[in-house]
C-alpha cells in the first residue's frame, strides 16, 4: 500500500546511526526492508542499503518492479533477476552482489548480526534465512539489530495508524465468527470463518492492499498453550479461544479473544472475573516511566494469588509493529521503562491441568495518560449471537 514517506521514523534511525558512528545499514529481513523503504517483498530476496546521508537503495526482484514503484519510498531501486541465463546461482546471490556494490561508498556498515526473529515475506510463511556468504561479505560490520530494535520500539503516527487498521480487521473478523459460531462446529471450521473474513474483507478495504490471517483456535478442553488447532467441537457454555494475528501491508495486530455459545459455565465465569482483574493491573503498569520488569512480576504475582503460580509459560507482554512479536519484551530478568508511543500486546493467561482455561490479550498504545486499547472488540468472554 502506498504511504507518504515517514520522515519521522527515518530521521530517528539516522540519529541512532550517528550515535553509533554508522555510515550505512544493510538490511535483509523483510520487516526491516519494509520499515526503511515501505516495500514488502514477495519472496524475501530483497535488501536495502540505508545511508546516514543520502538516498537509500532498494534491491528487489525485477518481477516486483510494479510494487516497488507504487509503494517504495526510495527512487534508487536496483533490480535483480530471479533467473539469469548467464548466472546459474540462486537469486539471493545476485541480491548480495547488488548490496555489496551499493554499500561500497560507505565506511562503517551496520548489519543484522544478531537477528532473533523476522517477519515473513507476503507470499508464504517461509522466511528466507541469511547465508554465511551474506555475513562474510561485510567482515567489519557492526551489529545494527539493537539500533533497529530501539528505533522500532517507538511508533510514529503513521505506524500507529497502520497497526490500528490491522486491529480493526481482526475485530471485524471476530464479529463475523460471533454471528455464525454454533455448537458442534469444529475448532478448524471456526478458524476458517475468521481467516476467510480477514483475507477476503480485509483485503477488500480501500486502505489495504493485502491482509493476511494467522490463527490458533481452541474450544473448551482444547485450550492449552502451544498446541495446534484441531477438530474439537464447540460446546455450549464453554469458551472458544481465538489466538489471532492479522498482517495488513506488513503491520500487525496480535490478539486473544474468546467467544461462548449460551451462558458461560460457572467455573469459567469465575476464572474470567479473576483473570480480568489481573489484566487490569497489567494495563495499569503499562504507563510511561514505569518499570518493564514490574509488569511481568505484577502479573505473575496476581496469577499466583489466584492459585496459578508459575503461569503462564508464555511471555506476558511484547511489542507489536512490523512484526507480530518485536521488542520490547518486558520480563523480570530485563530492564528498561515504558515510553510513550510504544505499542504493546499484553496477554496474561491461565491453563488448567488436562485442558481448559482462558487467555486475554489486546494491543495498547502508550500515551501520557496511560495505555489506550486499540481493538474495538471486547476483552473477556463474549457471548455469540
Residue 2 lies in a domain: no
Q: What is the CATH number of the domain that holds 298?
A: 3.90.230.10
Q: Of 115, 132, 152, which one is at a domain's C-terminal end?
A: 152
Rounded Cα–Cα distance for residues 349 and 226 (Å): 12
Cell of residue 243, nine digits? 489466538
Looking at the structure, tell me whether residues 132 and 197 fall in a common domain. Answer: no
The burial of 273, by beta-carbon neighbours within 10 Å (0-12 exposed, 13-18 middle, 19 or more buried), is given as exposed
Looking at the structure, tell me whether residues 207 and 335 fall in a common domain. Answer: yes
Looking at the structure, tell me whether residues 14 and 37 fall in a common domain. Answer: yes
Cell 493485502 belongs to 210
Q: What is the pLDDT of residues 188-232, one digit of tens each?
A: 999 999 999 999 999 999 999 999 999 999 999 999 988 999 999
Residue 1 lies in a domain: no
Grouping H, G, I as helix, E, B as strand and the rest as coil, residue 226 is: coil
Looking at the structure, tell me whether residues 272 and 189 fall in a common domain. Answer: yes
Residue 116 lies in a domain: yes
> Is the pLDDT score of 122 beyond 90?
no
Looking at the structure, tell me whether residues 134 and 98 fall in a common domain. Answer: yes
Looking at the structure, tell me whether residues 139 and 167 fall in a common domain. Answer: no
> Is the pLDDT score of 1 beyond 90?
no
Looking at the structure, tell me whether residues 223 and 114 fall in a common domain. Answer: no
Q: What is the CATH number of the domain that holds 105?
A: 3.40.350.10
Please report which confidence band the pLDDT of residue 181 belongs to, taking 50, 70 and 90 as the band edges. very high
Residue 34 lies in a domain: yes
Looking at the structure, tell me whether residues 23 and 110 fall in a common domain. Answer: yes
DSSP 128: P
Rounded Cα–Cα distance for residues 242 and 253 (Å): 13
Rounded Cα–Cα distance for residues 193 and 327 (Å): 31
Looking at the structure, tell me whether residues 335 and 225 fall in a common domain. Answer: yes
Q: Of 120, 152, 184, which one is at a domain's C-terminal end?
A: 152
What are the residue ranges of helices labelled H in the chain?
7-19, 30-37, 65-71, 91-103, 132-136, 145-153, 157-180, 187-197, 203, 266-285, 292-305
Looking at the chain, the whole-number percentage of residues with pLDDT higher than 70 is 100
Residue 129 confidence (pLDDT): 84
Looking at the structure, tell me whether residues 181 and 122 fall in a common domain. Answer: no
Q: What is the pLDDT of residues 21-53, one digit of tens each?
A: 999 999 999 999 999 999 999 989 999 999 999
Q: What share of the chain is helix, strand, coil (3-state, %, to 5)?
A: 35, 20, 40
Q: What is the pLDDT of residues 40-95, one digit of tens each?
A: 999 899 999 999 999 999 999 999 999 999 999 999 999 999 999 999 999 999 99
Looking at the structure, tell me whether residues 222 and 352 fall in a common domain. Answer: yes
Rounded Cα–Cα distance for residues 189 and 243 (Å): 15
Residue 355 lies in a domain: yes
The separation between CA 89 and the C-alpha centre of its own chain, rounded to angstroms, equals 33
Domain that holds residue 365: 157-383
| Of 347 and 116, the one with more pLDDT | 347
Rounded Cα–Cα distance for residues 223 and 190 (Å): 14
Looking at the structure, tell me whether residues 146 and 188 fall in a common domain. Answer: no
> Is the pLDDT score of 13 beyond 90?
yes
Q: What is the pLDDT of residues 313-346, one digit of tens each?
A: 999 999 999 999 999 999 999 999 999 999 999 9
Pairing label, strands 24-27, 109-111: parallel
Cell 509493529 belongs to 321
Give φ, ψ of 317 to 5 degrees: -155, 145
Q: Of 97, 127, 152, which one is at a domain's C-terminal end?
A: 152
> Total domain count for the chain?
2
Q: Which of 321, 308, 324, 309 is nearest to 357 (CA)?
A: 308
Amino acid at each position: 500500500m502506498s504511504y507518504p514517506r515517514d520522515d519521522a521514523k527515518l530521521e530517528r534511525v539516522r540519529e541512532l546511526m550517528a550515535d553509533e558512528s554508522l555510515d550505512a545499514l544493510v538490511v535483509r529481513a523483510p520487516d526491516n526492508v519494509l520499515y526503511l523503504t515501505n516495500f514488502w517483498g514477495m519472496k524475501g530476496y530483497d535488501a536495502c542499503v540505508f545511508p546516514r546521508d543520502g538516498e537509500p537503495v532498494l534491491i528487489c526482484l525485477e518481477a516486483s518492479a510494479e510494487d516497488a514503484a507504487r509503494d517504495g519510498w526510495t527512487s534508487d531501486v536496483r533490480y535483480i533477476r530471479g533467473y539469469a541465463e548467464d548466472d546459474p546461482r540462486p537469486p539471493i546471490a545476485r541480491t548480495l552482489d547488488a548490496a555489496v556494490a551499493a554499500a561500497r561508498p560507505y565506511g562503517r556498515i551496520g548489519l543484522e548480526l544478531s537477528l532473533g526473529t523476522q517477519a515473513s515475506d507476503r507470499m508464504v510463511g517461509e522466511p528466507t534465512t541469511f547465508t554465511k556468504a551474506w555475513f562474510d561479505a561485510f567482515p567489519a560490520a557492526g551489529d545494527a539489530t539493537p539500533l533497529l530494535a530501539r528505533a522500532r520500539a517507538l511508533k510514529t503516527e503513521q505506524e500507529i495508524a497502520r497497526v490500528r487498521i490491522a486491529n480493526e480487521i481482526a475485530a471485524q473478523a471476530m464479529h463475523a465468527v460471533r454471528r455464525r459460531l454454533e455448537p458442534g462446529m469444529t475448532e478448524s471450521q471456526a478458524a476458517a470463518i475468521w481467516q476467510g473474513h480477514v483475507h477476503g474483507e480485509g483485503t477488500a478495504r480501500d486502505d489495504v492492499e493485502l491482509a493476511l490471517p494467522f490463527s490458533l483456535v481452541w474450544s473448551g478442553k482444547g485450550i492449552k498453550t502451544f498446541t495446534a488447532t484441531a477438530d474439537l467441537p464447540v460446546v455450549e457454555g464453554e469458551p472458544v479461544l481465538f489466538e489471532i494475528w492479522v498482517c495488513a501491508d506488513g503491520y500487525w495486530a496480535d490478539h486473544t479473544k474468546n467467544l461462548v455459545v449460551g451462558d458461560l459455565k460457572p467455573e469459567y465465569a469465575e476464572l474470567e472475573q479473576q483473570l480480568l482483574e489481573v489484566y487490569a493491573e497489567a494495563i495499569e503498569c503499562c504507563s510511561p516511566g514505569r518499570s518493564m520488569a514490574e509488569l511481568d512480576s505484577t502479573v505473575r504475582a496476581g496469577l499466583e494469588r489466584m492459585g496459578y503460580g508459575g503461569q503462564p509459560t508464555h511471555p506476558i507482554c511484547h511489542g507489536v509493529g512490523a512484526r507480530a512479536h518485536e521488542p520490547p519484551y518486558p520480563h523480570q530478568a530485563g530492564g528498561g521503562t515504558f515510553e510513550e508511543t510504544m505499542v504493546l500486546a499484553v496477554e496474561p493467561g491461565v491453563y488448567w491441568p488436562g485442558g481448559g482455561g482462558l487467555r486475554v490479550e489486546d494491543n495498547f498504545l502508550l500515551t501520557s495518560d496511560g495505555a489506550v486499547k486499540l481493538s474495538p472488540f471486547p476483552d473477556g468472554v463474549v457471548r455469540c449471537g
